[in-house]
Structure 1
Amino acid sequence: MSLRYGVLLIPEPSFTATAYRARQIICGQYGSWAAEMHMLHLTLTGFFQCTDSSLDELDAGLAALAEYSRRSAPQFSMSHRGVVPMPGSSGNISLDFGQGDGNDPLPVLQRNTAELLEQTADVEPEPESPTGQPRPHVPLMQYANLPPAVFSDALEFARGVVEHLQLPEATRAWRLLLVRFRSEGAGDDWGDGRWAADLSWELLHSYSL
């Protein structure tokens, strides 16, 4: 069994429920299940490896980051710029939360999280993002092996679904999570979506924002 870890941001429940429904429709329509195998979340980090001995240090660091965020901007607001194909990826459609001022609470939290991972002993990021730190986003479709014309249709379809379900443009941060992921299918490479066959996870810690 292969293990990886991740730090995820969960939006407020009402937004999460509508986005979950949109993702379910989009993935089902095009038979692409990778995104559906995951909990609904904003991606702050890629998968990373971490030893058991470093988890307490990581937990304490994330608790401090959440407390700082809670004091400076409790349940901060964050907006997406709609449904977009993610740059540098193949077959991925997301709600992109990556725009805005670099001093807004979301990019600050992401930068602080990345710095914490760099400073924590025995944490090794998965080499899955050649462009570096991922843009904050909610995955709606991942690793879809679609011909270009069909992918273009899928993008149009996804935008129509999000509009029909009246998914709000803005939501609020709700929880930060430290998660342990397991997959037999991923093997040693978590960068190509093979984890979608049997992904499971364990919520190790939850931090109120």
Structure 2
Amino acid sequence: MSNELALKHVFKKGTGKTPHTLLLLHGTGGTEEDLLPLVDYIDPEANVLSVRGNVSENGMPRFFKRLAEGVFDEEDLIFRTKELNTFLDEAAKEYGFDRGQVIAFGYSNGANIAASLLFHYEGALKGASLHHPMVPRRGIELPDLTDKAVFIAAGTNDPICPSQESEELKALLTEAGAKVDLHWESQGHQLTIGEVKAAAEWYRNTLI
């Protein structure tokens, strides 16, 4: 791990059989270790870059501040999204991976910052698997997301992300040109093994 890079993280070099780098982004209170077990399901041969959020909320790591449950601090969201995008540029140089082959896998707050990367930077991600995300911003023009692949996992009983939130996010990304798959589980806000397996199938069918 380089001490020069701005965000605490873990990097694991893949076997070289796939060009992809999996960017893992945890939920509120998580760490860079949380989502590492998902790699075995998704692509054990890929590079892995797992990042810890740079914001603390009552001691819990997050990727950006919020004003209340479900209410984002938009100014901080914009700043932290730029910070993460710059970090990815620098990490690609540091570790020698292809910057154009980054696939994000984010849960909850991590899914929101991944969605924000898509909303703000055309070249930030090749694709993204967003688990229980919300719409990061409204009323802005999205970049051209043609050829970007996005998987959204949502829970029909999710108290934090209502179903219309997931549908709206799908619509916004689709309007910008992305190919979006929306997967439903009869669950709440938790990350389930069912949605992880569905994401792995999406990844194999769409990105490999």
TM-score range, shorter chain: under 0.3
Give me the TM-score of the superposition, normalised by structure 1: 0.25
Give me the TM-score of the superposition, normalised by structure 2: 0.25
